[in-house]
């Protein structure tokens, strides 16, 4: 039997695996403590694990890693972007961003993406496969190790907003987040984690039930179905009326404030009328809107809106709470998918 990545197992699944190997379930917590707290990945160095168990574990698990192909940093060293090579020679991206509250990491969940959002670099390349649980967890570990080595700081926050649609890789994403939030694991507080979705209504409620304390951000980007249909193909499956109803159900389960992400595109979705439609659409929801200045790429013809502040003022005047996202990494291809696509294009040439 081929050895399996240790990082593929959340605590519950690890306990089940150990039972199959005739080891006591409590050993799972001991292993988590060694690996995620003490950063020990040699079973023989784990002093409270018996020699017979060490031998068994060595035959079952491996400790793999991600290969760093490229690291880009911006001039202020507030954004760091990694291009990682996977074991099957595919590539993914991970980004560290510095904020007032500390360092956050943006992780990917798929190689490519099938959602096809017109403004998104990730969506220009179809999904090749889902990332394994280990490949999601290792993005955090590798980024945190780099940060510790270069700044003597630790990651404190995670956004699951990189390449791919997280809820389209539901089981692996949930398992990875259980490892990341586990008190015996990486122990990042659930409220320090945000997962972004383009609106897979059939998965949003399941996620709220599985991990109710983790924040959800809905990629909205339009105030009506006509615009959203053109920008986001998912809207033809889950139109705004269904999405908003799902959001209401989510709020009943989690009682967590929702974030709605709204990229402002010049002449597309940035008029005062659009702002007023957005106010009406989100009326009564516990939420706020995160307005995002568009990061222009050579992959699309969309232009950055010149009306970001005006749009914000209309929302504010009509008592819809909003923020304007602080830009990070525009000079180092930090938009999702850009660095991977550039690398793949160079390889082809």
Catalytic residues: 93, 336
Q: How many residues does the chain have?
A: 349
- Please give, one letter per residue, the 3-state secondary structure of 54-111: HHHHHHHEECCCCEEEEEEECCCCCEEEEEEECCCCCEEEEEEEEECCEEEEECCCEE
Cβ burial of 310 (10 Å; 0-12, 13-18, 19+) is middle
Secondary structure class of 236 (helix, strand, coil): helix
Burial of 76 (0-12, 13-18, 19+ CB in 10 A): exposed
**Hey, what are 245's tokens?**
């109803």
Picking from 236, 234, 314, 239, the residue whose alpha carbon sits closest to that of residue 269 is 314
Q: Please state whether 329 falls in left (phi above 0), alpha (psi between -120 and 50) or beta.
A: left
């Amino acid at each position: 039997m081929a050895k399996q990545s240790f990082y593929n197992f959340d605590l519950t699944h690890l306990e089940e695996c150990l039972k199959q190997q005739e080891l006591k379930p409590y050993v799972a917590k001991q292993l988590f403590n060694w690996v995620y707290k003490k950063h020990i990945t040699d079973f023989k160095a784990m002093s409270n694990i018996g020699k017979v168990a060490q031998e068994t574990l060595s035959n079952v698990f491996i400790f793999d890693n991600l290969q760093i192909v490229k690291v880009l940093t911006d001039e202020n060293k507030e954004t760091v972007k990694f291009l990682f090579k996977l074991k099957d020679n595919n590539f993914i991206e991970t980004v560290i961003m510095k904020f007032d509250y500390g360092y956050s990491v943006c992780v990917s969940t798929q190689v490519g993406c099938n959602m096809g959002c017109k403004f998104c670099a990730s969506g220009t390349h179809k999904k090749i496969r889902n990332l394994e649980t280990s490949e999601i967890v290792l993005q955090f570990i590798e980024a945190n190790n780099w940060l510790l080595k270069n700044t003597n700081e630790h990651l404190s926050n995670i956004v699951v907003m990189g390449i791919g649609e997280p809820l389209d890789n539901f089981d692996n994403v949930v398992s990875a987040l259980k490892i990341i939030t586990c008190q015996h694991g990486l122990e990042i507080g659930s409220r320090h984690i945000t997962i972004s979705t383009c609106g897979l209504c059939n998965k949003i409620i399941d996620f709220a039930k599985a991990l109710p304390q983790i924040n959800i951000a809905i990629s909205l980007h339009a105030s009506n179905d006509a615009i959203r249909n053109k920008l986001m193909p998912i809207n033809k499956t889950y139109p705004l009326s269904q999405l908003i109803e799902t959001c209401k159900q989510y709020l009943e389960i989690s009682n967590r404030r929702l974030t709605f992400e709204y990229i402002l595109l010049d002449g597309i979705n940035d008029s005062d009328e659009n702002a007023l439609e957005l106010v009406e659409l989100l009326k009564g929801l516990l939420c706020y809107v995160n307005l995002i200045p568009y990061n222009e790429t050579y992959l699309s013809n969309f232009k950055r809106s010149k009306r970001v502040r005006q749009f914000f003022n209309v929302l504010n005047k009509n008592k819809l709470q909003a923020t304007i996202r602080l830009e990070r990494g525009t000079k180092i291809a930090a938009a999702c998918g850009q660095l991977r696509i550039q690398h793949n294009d160079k390889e082809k040439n």
